[in-house]
Structure formats: structure tokens, C-alpha cells
Amino acid sequence: QNPDFHGFSTDPHVDVLNMRSVFLAGVSIAIVLGSVFLHYLPDYGLRDWARREAELQVREREARGEPLLDSNYYDPTRLPLPPRQ
């Protein structure tokens, strides 16, 4: 009878209305739940941790009066170096 039958009702108008409302609810739920899922994914790249750690290092160096960047990562007087030849 109805060439555009979607399986919700025998009445064509109710069938289309129910199909559209189920589609709208399904898409809305997928967008909301997908966004929540992506927001709460773990920080696998450790980007947030690296940012917080860098801010802590900057605060500690400023409190001690040290420069933020130093040309020597390690103290050269404490490194055991091989003898020069």
C-alpha cells in the first residue's frame, strides 16, 4: 500500500513522523554521547601532564631565582666525563 513504508505504522503520515523522530533522537544521542566519550578519553599523549609539569618547573625556578632555561641540562661539575686524548 505505502511505497515509503518505514515499519513504524500502517498510517503513512504517522509512519513518516515516527521515522523522523527516531532518526532525530538517534542522531542527537549519537552526537551527545560521542562528544562525552571523546571529552573523557584518557590523556594518552601526556600533553596535560607535560603542561602541568612545565608550569611547576617554571614556578620552582622562579622561586629559587634561577633562569628558566640553562645551556647545561645537567651540572657539568657533577658529570663524570671520559679523559680527553
Q: Which residue would you say has higher pLDDT here, 79 or 63? A: 63
* Residue from 31, 1, 28 nearest 15 by CA: 1
Residue 43 lies in a domain: yes
Distance CA(76)–CA(78), nearest Å, equals: 5
Q: Is the pLDDT of residue 2 over 80?
A: no
Cα dihedral sign, 18-23-24-30: positive
Quote the number of domains for the chain.
1
0.85 surpassed by pTM? no
The boundaries of the domain holding residue 29 are: 12-64
3-state secondary structure 40-61: CCCCCCCHHHHHHHHHHHHHHH
pLDDT in tens, 21-43: 999 999 999 999 999 999 999 88
Residue 82 lies in a domain: no
